[in-house]
Amino acid sequence: MRVVCLAGGVGGAKLADGLQQIVAPGELTVIVNTGDDLERHGLTVCPDHDTVLYTLAGMADPAQGWGIADETFEVATRLAQLGEETWFRLGDRDIATHIFRTERLRAGARPTEVALELAARLGVRTRILPMTDATVRTRVRTDAGWLDFQDYFVRLRQEPEVREVRYEGIAGATVAPEGREALRSAEAIVVAPSNPIVSIGPILAVPGLLAEIAAARGRGVPAIGVSGIVGGKALRGPADRMLAALGDEPSALGVARRYAAAGLLDVFVIDRADEALGGAIRALGLEVVVTDTIMNDAASHAALAREMVSAAAAWAARSSSGVRP
């Protein structure tokens, strides 16, 4: 089954790893959020892309989920001695990725081309595509004013309340040809348990992307998502607080409402802990699957991926036989 997965950072990388374990080689495409990208020390850094890349290459730091395992920080230490700001710490090995990317971009390659080259050089067969080749930067409005995403996320440790979110540059963005082709040939679309506002939100906001998903769903391709909020708490990061501050319920139901409002999904997966929310989510017009959604090792990544792909296939089989769920 040809699968396209929409993903942010750590949660997206875990599900992508599960999908890579169960989908035939070459049949998986991951479209990643680029709203978190930034320039650091003159280098272009793409955190969500690199988290997915390192995870799929088996190189990710298992404790923090992002960055490279057994990393050292000699360059960051030396930069700090030179008086540079190093609150966003680039590891020594990680820096090689950013140098490679920045050189290729300066030579005129598109971000999608560079992403494909990086995956090939690291031996990753999954296609990891930036959501767009345009420059999009997520910014958040807090009581301290508008902040760049990593300023809020890393420097201020997600402490300020987020009052508003903006994806700067999104109006001029388009889906790159490789992403469009992947969506046009997809047999299932999977939305990872990433932050619905600052990870999946920017991807869905790329002009034309939701229309591609709608066209795929019109052809009978199932779209299935999973909540990254379990028992009212985000598995990682500030999604629960963000949802509440923006007036949504901080729960799997709040996530489902956002995706239902966008017309994104057919099926929504929730954790057993949230079974009681199933009725309200079904009332949004989504089929609900209740299962274990917490991913903490390779086997649990694969288990959730398998559950999602088989639920998607079952939905597609029922819908093509005319039996609507």
Candidate residues 17, 27, 50, 187; the one interacting with ligand FO1 per rule CB under 6 A = 50
Candidate residues 90, 186, 252, 255; the one interacting with ligand FO1 per rule CB under 6 A = 90
C-beta nearest to ligand FO1: residue: 9
Nearer to ligand FO1 by Cβ, of 8 and 278: the residue is 8
Rounding to the nearest 10 degrees, give the CA dihedral for residues 127, 46, 96, 44. 130
Nearer to ligand FO1 by Cβ, of 197 and 216: the residue is 197
CB of 285 to ligand FO1, least distance (A): 29
Q: Which residue stretch of 84-92, 125-133, 281-289, 312-320 sits at the interface with ligand FO1 (rule: CB under 6 A)?
A: 84-92
Residues 152-191 that bind ligand FO1 (CB under 6 A): 153-154
CB of 46 to ligand FO1, least distance (A): 7
Site string for ligand FO1, 52-71 (x = CB under 6 A): --------------xx----
Is 202 one of the binding residues for ligand FO1 (CB under 6 A)? no
Is 240 one of the binding residues for ligand FO1 (CB under 6 A)? no
Is 48 one of the binding residues for ligand FO1 (CB under 6 A)? yes
Is 100 one of the binding residues for ligand FO1 (CB under 6 A)? no
